[in-house]
């Protein structure tokens, strides 16, 4: 099937992915369908993991009964789950083609016989990422076993709460690298005894946050949310007792976890929670005297306000961000603060101010040293070009916005799937709103954005895709628009008729 080929996984894993289930959810469904007698052993996520790992040395061969039961859960034939050789003669049917992609249990047709270069780039990246995540599932199992063994040794009254928090962090285990035993012991022990917090523990928590941010870049907010909230609770709980020399750094980490929780809430269209997390992050960053992080939080707050159609509030936050960023040596941060200001100015129809902000952002970017560490690791010329395209659309210069947006697509890194999707969507709108609408090109790039939504589950992206349909629906009689409508329905953006 397409998921198995695309993500380089066996059919048992592919069918689970297609239904959007975790290993534990499969085990829970199994136990609901086939209850065991008193004293009998329930199926657990470990059983599912062993069956999926077979025929490797770490796996166990599933029995015929097990395969039949899995087939019922996945609504397929048991033979579909064993990856045997297929010597039957096949005839192609219109309902299933080699390019089809199964998502959420449904077969979604690949509407583009020749995908665009941007789509091909992202599909390749997702396939590679899927193989990496699969390879780390074994490490997850080892980490869970270590947590259980550690809990048994500690025998403390509050161990269940600590273990539940740690397990919540492990729930999105593919973001974690392999931990050696000493690092596991030191990190977990620090959560029970805050006086044991040291620089290595903070490094590890910061590393988890970094991996969560990169997972969000590719897959969306749901992929990282549970881990981030669990880590945030853990850090908050040890802050009051942490040794004084480490408190500013741990406070900055708490601020950044709060900021990122706000970003995830924002991308899920939960604006009230995003605002609350951002306010907490700003206060913590200032208490830690972390000027760079304080400026970055203000950038996020400006972005949120502009998205909510409150451009003047966005301008207020952006001006404050610029002021703080200019007190640092971080040129990327300076550029990004001007970038969010440009968006707010453009929405407020202040074209001159928006252009000045874009110019200042470009000047700051020119001074960024390659590979320099920064909170704005995602920001570069491609993203600036995308923002400039958005500003031109706001001030009624759609043709120029389309041209710059097309250039921006080539300059945005493949790992930033949401940015590519939002830029593709905006380019499509620019083509549709030009003096001479280019419906064919507009439909094509909007189709790219719809395809990205299958990879990246951003609620904001889905919302904007639905709005885009309002722009293009007037040409619904054109074949390319009908095809786009079918695709958007297949990906869950539009309600099926």
pLDDT band at 449 (very low <50, low <70, confident <90, very high): very high
One domain, residues 50 and 171: no
Phi, psi dihedral angles at 147 (to 5 degrees):
-60, -45
Instruction: Read off the pLDDT band of 108 (50, 70, 90).
Output: very low
Same domain, 157 and 199: yes
Judge whether residue 87 has pLDDT over 80: no
Domain end call among 258, 287, 316? 287
pLDDT of 179 reads 45
Residue ending a domain, choose from 287, 302, 319: 287
pLDDT at 453: 87
Whether 488 shows a pLDDT value over 80: the answer reads: yes
Same domain, 70 and 181: no
Which band of pLDDT confidence, cut at 50, 70 and 90, is reported for residue 86?
low
Tell whether 421 is covered by a domain. no
Within a domain: 178: yes
> What pLDDT score was predicted for residue 85?
67
What are the residue ranges of helices labelled H in 244-377?
Answer: 247-267, 271-287, 291-307, 311-325, 331-347, 351-365
Report d(CA 82, CA 67) in Å as an integer.
8
CA-to-CA distance for 97 and 455, rounded, in angstroms? 20
Q: Using CB atoms within 10 Å of the CB of residue 310, give its burial: 0 to 12 exposed, 13 to 18 middle, 19+ buried.
A: middle
Residue 364 domain-assigned? Answer: no
Q: What is the mean pLDDT of residues 465-482?
A: 94
DSSP string, 2-28: HHHHHHT--HHHHHHHHTT--HHHHHH
Give the pLDDT band of residue 99 (cuts 50, 70, 90). very low
Phi, psi of 81 (to 5 degrees): -100, 5
Choice among 143-147, 296-300, 356-360, 373-377 with the minimum mean pLDDT: 143-147
Six token digits for residue 286: 């200032």
What CATH number did the domain enclosing 18 receive? 1.10.260
Average pLDDT over residues 220-227: 85
% residues pLDDT > 70 (the chain): 76
The CA distance from 96 to 76, in Å, is: 15
The total number of structural domains that make up the chain: 2
Q: Express each pLDDT in 121-149 by its tens digit.
A: 776 666 555 544 444 444 444 554 554 55
Res. 406: pLDDT tops 70: yes
Instruction: Establish if 216 belongs to a structural domain.
Output: yes
311: left (phi over 0), alpha (psi -120 to 50) or beta: alpha
Q: What DSSP letter does each residue of 155-178 carry, written as one string?
A: --TTHHHHHHHHHHHHTTGGGPPP
Say if CB 254 and CB 232 are below 8 A apart.
Answer: yes
Query: Which band of pLDDT confidence, cut at 50, 70 and 90, is reported for residue 218?
Result: confident
Residues 144 and 280 in one domain: yes
Residue owning tokens 């040395």? 57
Q: What is the mean pLDDT of residues 423-441?
A: 96
Per-residue confidence (pLDDT) for residue 15, from 0 to 100:
84
Res 239 pLDDT > 50: yes
Q: 234 and 185 in one domain?
A: yes
Is 126 domain-assigned? Answer: no
C-alpha–C-alpha distance, residues 137 and 395, integer Å = 49
**Residue 416 has what DSSP assignment?**
-
Whether 168 shows a pLDDT value over 90: the answer reads: no
Average pLDDT score over residue span 300-314: 98
Is residue 292 within 8 A of residue 328, CB to CB? The reply is yes
Whether residue 163 is found in the same domain as residue 70 = no
Q: Do 30 and 105 have their domain in common?
A: yes
Lowest mean pLDDT among 51-60, 89-98, 113-122, 327-336: 89-98
101 and 169 both lie in a single domain: no
Whether the predicted pLDDT of 398 surpasses 90: yes
> How open is the CA angle 248-254-257, to the nearest 5 degrees?
145
- Does the pLDDT value for residue 426 go beyond 90? yes
The reply to whether 67 and 172 lie within a common domain is no
Q: How many CB atoms lie within 10 A of CB 10?
A: 19
167 shares a domain with 64: no
pLDDT band at 397 (very low <50, low <70, confident <90, very high): very high
Rg (CA), the chain: 25
Q: Is 210 helix (H, G, I), strand (E, B) or coil?
A: helix
pLDDT tens for each residue of 170-210: 443 433 444 444 554 455 555 545 556 788 888 888 888 99
Counting Cα atoms < 13 Å in the Cβ hemisphere of 114 gives 0
Same domain as 273, residue 223: yes
- In angstroms, rounded to a whole number, what is the distance separating the alpha carbons of residues 398 and 434? 5
User: For the segment 62-77, what is each residue's pLDDT rounded down to a tens digit?
Assistant: 998 899 999 999 888 8
pTM over 0.85: no
Domain residues for the domain of 207 are: 140-287
Q: Check residue 434 and give its pLDDT.
A: 96
pLDDT digits (tens, 9 = 90+) for 270-294: 999 999 999 999 999 999 999 999 9
CA proximity to 342, closest of 304, 302, 309:
302
Asked, for residue 154, whether it belongs to a domain, the answer is yes
Residues pairing with 96 in the sheet = 93
Domain shared by 105 and 144, yes or no: no
Q: Can you give the pLDDT at residue 393?
A: 97
Lowest-pLDDT choice from 77-81, 161-165, 192-196: 161-165
Whether 10 is covered by a domain: the verdict is yes
Torsions phi, psi of 402, nearest 5? -65, -45
Contact yes or no for 119/451 (Cβ under 8 A): yes
Query: Which of 51-60, 153-162, 185-194 is most confident?
Result: 51-60
Whether residue 325 has pLDDT greater than 90: yes
Mean pLDDT across the chain: 82
């Amino acid at each position: 099937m397409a998921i198995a080929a695309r993500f380089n996984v066996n059919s048992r894993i592919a069918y689970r992915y297609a239904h959007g289930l975790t290993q534990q959810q499969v085990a829970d469904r199994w136990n609901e369908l086939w209850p065991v007698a008193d004293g009998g052993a329930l199926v657990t996520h470990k059983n599912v993991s062993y069956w999926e790992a077979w025929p490797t040395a770490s796996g166990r061969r599933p029995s015929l009964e097990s395969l039949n039961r899995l087939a019922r859960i996945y609504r397929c034939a048991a033979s579909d789950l064993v990856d045997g050789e297929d010597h039957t003669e096949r005839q192609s049917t219109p309902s299933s083609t080699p390019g089809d992609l199964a998502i959420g249990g449904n077969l979604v047709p690949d509407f583009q016989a020749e995908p665009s270069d941007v789509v091909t780039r992202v599909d390749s990246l997702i396939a590679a990422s899927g193989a990496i995540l699969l390879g780390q599932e074994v490490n997850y199992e080892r980490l869970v076993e270590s947590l259980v063994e550690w809990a048994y040794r500690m025998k403390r009254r509050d161990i269940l709460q600590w273990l539940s928090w740690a397990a919540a962090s492990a729930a999105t285990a593919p973001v974690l690298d392999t931990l050696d035993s000493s690092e596991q012991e030191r990190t977990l022990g620090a959560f029970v005894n805050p006086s044991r917090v040291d620089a290595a523990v903070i490094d590890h928590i910061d590393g988890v946050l970094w991996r969560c941010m990169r997972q969000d870049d590719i897959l969306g907010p749901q992929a990282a949310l549970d881990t981030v909230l669990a880590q945030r609770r853990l850090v908050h709980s040890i802050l009051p007792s942490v040794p004084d020399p480490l408190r500013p750094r741990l406070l900055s980490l708490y601020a950044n976890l709060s900021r990122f929780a706000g970003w995830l809430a924002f991308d899920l269209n939960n604006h009230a929670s995003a605002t609350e997390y951002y306010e907490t992050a700003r206060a913590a960053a200032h208490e830690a005297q972390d000027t760079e992080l304080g400026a970055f939080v203000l950038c996020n707050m400006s972005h949120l306000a502009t998205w909510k159609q409150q451009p003047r509030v966005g301008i207020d936050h952006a001006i404050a961000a610029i002021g703080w960023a200019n007190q640092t040596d971080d040129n990327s941060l300076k550029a990004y603060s001007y970038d969010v200001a440009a968006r707010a100015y453009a929405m407020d129809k202040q074209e001159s101010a928006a252009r000045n902000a874009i110019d200042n952002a470009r000047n700051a970017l020119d001074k960024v040293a390659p590979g320099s560490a920064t909170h704005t690791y995602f920001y570069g010329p491609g993203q600036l070009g995308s923002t400039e395209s958005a500003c031109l659309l706001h001030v009624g210069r759609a043709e120029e916005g389309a041209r710059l947006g097309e250039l921006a697509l080539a300059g945005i890194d493949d790992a930033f799937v949401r940015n590519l999707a939002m830029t593709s969507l905006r380019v499509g709108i620019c083509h549709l709103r030009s003096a001479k609408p280019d419906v064919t090109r507009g439909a094509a790039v909007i189709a790219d954005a719809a395809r990205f939504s299958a990879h990246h589950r951003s609620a904001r992206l889905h919302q904007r895709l639905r709005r885009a349909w309002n722009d293009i629906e007037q040409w619904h009689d054109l074949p390319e628009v009908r095809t786009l409508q079918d695709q958007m329905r297949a990906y869950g953006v539009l309600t099926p008729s």
